[in-house]
Structure 1
């Protein structure tokens, strides 16, 4: 197998985890995980690990944006956003199901305990969640610009308090009434 990024560099077998072999490129640091190898590894796990919160690890991710062809079956690979605080895409072959991870992407996913959920990244519900996450981030930036950082922080505090309040509806009616003190 040749590297789909470097084109002429061969991939060598590498032990990625106990019972999981990947094919690595020494030039770009990318790795190919064969679908059956990953499935067998998952079967040996004791279920998926709980997702860990984002940590400020200092891994440099080299997310290669150009299209890749699968080193195993030569089909075009499709990019999927990982989300969950990770701002890169992983590549999956629609033919054989193999996955290409650019340099340090496995480590970043492992740091969040997402390495055992790679197959989930390719599902419609996961991708819908990624889009929702992006929409929320976009709206967060827009609201911060509209209200200013300090006011927006206060608004979010009030909203959080209001969402948990047992008399939420009554408070909302009071706030939306132009003259709540008129009889």
Structure 2
């Protein structure tokens, strides 16, 4: 899969990102090797890298021996492709890692080490599915509680 752009600037530190080819997946990713170590994934690339069994050796090799600058992860970042503000989103049902996601083009930005942290969260599909089901159940329960509270408030019971 070929990118539609020659280079992009890192949304976290502004450095030009380098392209790294992932042979097993058949596409290029953009890595900030001269700045913060961030990783840009185009729309639909994450699902080919999100499991610990998928080979990301070329990424690890690109990072080897490098030091990276610290960046403010709380800052709102701009998409390097369409220049729209990105949104902070949890990358898994565990809700432990926030990444930057562009709702316009579907791209995702991972700060240094976040992809590997995400990949280490689950060791099986069953474990991941169980967490997703629990999150969905918790969300549904929370919605029911809020609806009950709102209806009681509406009728002056609170």
CA contact (8 A) 1:63 1:103 kept: no
> How many angstroms apart in 1 are the aligned matches of 2:122 and 2:80?
26
Please provide the CA RMSD for this pair.
3.9
Deviations 1:126-156 (A, max 9, x none): 6x928x49xxxxxxxxxxxxxxxxxxxxxxx
Shift of 1:91: 1.1
**1:108 pairs with one of 100, 103, 117:** 117
Task: Give the alignment's TM-score, normalised by structure 1.
Answer: 0.46
Which structure has the highest helix share of the two? 1
Larger radius of gyration: 1
**1:68 pairs with one of 63, 77, 93:** 77
CA contact (8 A) 1:21 1:37 kept: no
CA contact (8 A) 2:97 2:118 kept: no
Unaligned runs of 5+ in 2: 1-7, 54-70, 126-131, 140-158
Unaligned runs of 5+ in 1: 51-61, 117-125, 134-183
What does residue 136 of structure 1 align with? Answer: none
> How many angstroms apart in 2 are the aligned matches of 1:16 and 1:113?
22
> How many angstroms apart in 2 are the aligned matches of 1:11 and 1:38?
18
Return closer, same or farther for 1:82/1:17 CA change in 2, 3 Å cut-off. farther
